Chain A
Amino acid sequence: MSISTPQAEMQPPLEGPDYLHEHSVRSWLLTTDHKRIGILYLVSITLFFLIGGVAVTMMRMELLTPQGDLFASSTYNKLFTMHGVIMVWFFLIPSVPSVLGNFLLPMMLGARDVAFPRLNLLSWYLFMAGAALALWAIIHGGVDTGWTFYTPYSSTYANGHVIAMVMGVFIAGFGSIITGLNFIVTTHKLRAPGLIWFRLPLFVWSLYATSIILVLATPVLAITLVLVALERAFGIGIFNPAIGGDPLLFQHLFWFYSHPAVYIMILPGMGVTSEIIACFARKQVFGYRIVAYASIAIAVLGFLVWGHHMFVSSQSIYAGMIFSLLSFLVSIPSAIKVFNWTATLYRGSIWFQTPLLYALGFLGLFTIGGLTGLFLAALAVDVHLTDTYFVVAHFHYIMVGGMVMAYLGGLHFWWPKITGKLYPEWPAKLSALFIFGGFNLTFFPQFILGYLGMPRRYHIYAPEFQTLNVLSSAGASILAVGYLLPLVYLLWSLRYGRDAGPNPWQATGLEWTTASPPPEENFTIAPVVTEDPYNYHPTEEAADA
């Protein structure tokens, strides 16, 4: 193995207690320690992931046959709404930023905590309150609007607890805004001496870009959802054309948030991938500055493309052309990242540990997801593909193939830091392979289904689509095993895993200079940064040295 130079001096061995030493419920529920708050998020989103997973398991079982065998149409509508709402707002959006970001950002900056620790705890409570309200709506009959809440259906015609559901998302959104604000201020104000902007790990750059989106976009979603609730409760004509509103206004406002939300979901995943690839290729990230700028460029350009969700919605052709062009532009910084990761891997000393398997999975699946996005950004092709399974496959390649792979890769990479324990490598590699294989078997047939014309959100379909649907459901069962395995062996490692030591991967960031698990104050001696990030030396250089 090659050598690496951490960005600062290693901390002295930990003599006092670590951040996990208190066990009472009170110590968890009233904590302001960013690491514990990260773990609160980890436990909560794992729960929501399981709930969203149960919904989709039932959907995939229903889709095994072309008839509606298991559920009535209205139940199926509620299932996909539940799956979408929970997975987007209560799993994907908080996954990397709120779990790994909360845990790691202050440590990567050499800080004791985030800038506003109490607000940080408040963000978790808001998230949980929003989730509780959404779950209440689900338990009391559910909502059948889809996760997009399109008007005037959601504001006027839909039965069910739309107001409770949108208020749940509204409240959770404030948690997002606070987290974003906290991360921006922390990055500006709490960097260790010597940690200039271009010495920051790329994960911090990606969290910063994500935070910009969280702060600028989430308020628009909040306003939009309040307007839906107002129209629904009081009949104020905002979106319903029958009472003087404009339904496309909803779509403009909704996608002004929700398209950037895709980047909220993918940008932190890109940051995780940069960290993992540099560490396990034992190389500097190729074109560090360009990758950092690309994160900001994605955050900015991501705000200018929302109209590509509306090409067939009677949006004007002129606006469609502008949004199509801008959508092609946003692929440039994403492509830069993919090429730079590939160049980083080139002639690296590759160390095939589990996090790298996930990162490589991310690289391939994100590329497929991104390239099929270009099909959908093309005005004419989109007319054929809108609202088909092609769209479903495309965004799952980004959100699941991309983000969930990155999240699991990051969780494995930093698990030794979070818990102080090593997970068992063999089952971890197996689960990464299960997830990669299962994912492709689930979603690649959906590209074909969509291209052949199967619409999304239908549970009764033409018989000729059955074979591909059966393949997709079979893939989903493999995927489910792949997701359950980490739950088992990561929990197992808490008790039986080997001690990790401060830096089991010989990685370079500040978080690896301190003990695992870290002390409550992160560092016993304030770190002073003296090195650029990713100071890895490939084997031949090490031998020369």
Chain B
Amino acid sequence: MTPVRHYALVCGALLVLLLLTVGAAYVNLGPFNVAAAMLISLMKAALILLFFMHVRQAGPVLRLFVFIGFFWLALLISLSLSDFLTRGVPDKSTADQRPSTSGETKPPAP
């Protein structure tokens, strides 16, 4: 397969996925709306990485760097979520002693 044909095919696949993204936006999948959008985006990103960015033909060092890029993104997301997902979770050892936000004092726990 010539390179031009090769890239044209990948480009075509990306356009199909774009249409799929737009189409999926009109279908209400409830809680799966985000999952569907993310899945399609991942497929697009994979196509770009593997073919347009030549990772498919790359040696081990370049592949390692690609992996590191994603790993760092995972670090950013997971440690940020360690805050977001645990906000408002009261610390049982001190929650009873904190003054309430309304200014009234809570009675001590029995």
Contacts and interface: CB of A to CB of B under 8 A. Distances in A.
Contacts of B84: 246, 248, 316
Contacts of A307: 79, 83
A249 B79 CA distance: 12
B104 interface: no
Given A188-B61, A316-B89, A317-B91, A252 B72 contact: no
Contacts of A246: 84
Interface in A280-320: 303-304, 306-307, 310, 314-319
A304 B75 contact: yes
B76 interface: yes
A190 interface: no
A319 B83 contact: yes
B80 interface: yes
Contacts of A314: 87
Interface string A310-344: 10001111110011000000000000000000000
Contacts of B82: 316, 318-319, 322
Nearest to A184: B65
B79 A319 contact: yes
B17 to A, nearest CB: 23
Interface in A507-530: none
Nearest to B80: A252
Contacts of B79: 252, 304, 306-307, 319, 322-323
B12 interface: no
Contacts of B87: 314-316
Interface in B27-83: 61, 68-69, 72, 75-76, 79-80, 82-83
B83 A248 contact: yes
A225 to B, nearest CB: 16
Interface residues of B, number: 16
Binding site secondary structure of chain A: helix
Contacts of A253: 76, 80
A28 to B, nearest CB: 33
A246 B87 CA distance: 12
A226 interface: no
B86 interface: yes
Contact of A303 (B69, B72, B80, B89): B72
Contacts of B89: 316, 318
Contacts of A323: 79
**B72, B83, B86, most chain A CB atoms within 10 A:** B83
A494 interface: no
A252 B83 contact: yes
A192 interface: no
Contacts of A304: 75, 79
A319 B72 contact: no
Contacts of A318: 82-83, 86, 89
A248 B80 CA distance: 9
A105 B79 CA distance: 34
Contacts of A216: 68-69, 72
A256 interface: yes
A256 B86 contact: no
A220 interface: yes
B38 to A, nearest CB: 17
Contacts of B68: 216
A128 to B, nearest CB: 28
A-B pairs, top 6 by smallest CB distance, nearest first, are A319-B83, A316-B86, A318-B86, A252-B80, A319-B82, A316-B87
25 contacts: A216-B69, A248-B83, A248-B84, A249-B80, A252-B76, A252-B79, A252-B83, A253-B76, A253-B80, A256-B76, A256-B80, A304-B75, A304-B79, A307-B83, A314-B87, A315-B87, A316-B82, A316-B86, A316-B88, A317-B86, A318-B82, A318-B89, A319-B83, A322-B79, A322-B82
Given A248-B83, A319-B86, 16 more contacts: A216-B69, A216-B72, A246-B84, A252-B80, A252-B83, A303-B75, A304-B79, A307-B79, A307-B83, A314-B87, A316-B82, A316-B83, A316-B84, A316-B89, A322-B82, A323-B79
Interface of B: 61, 68-69, 72, 75-76, 79-80, 82-84, 86-89, 91
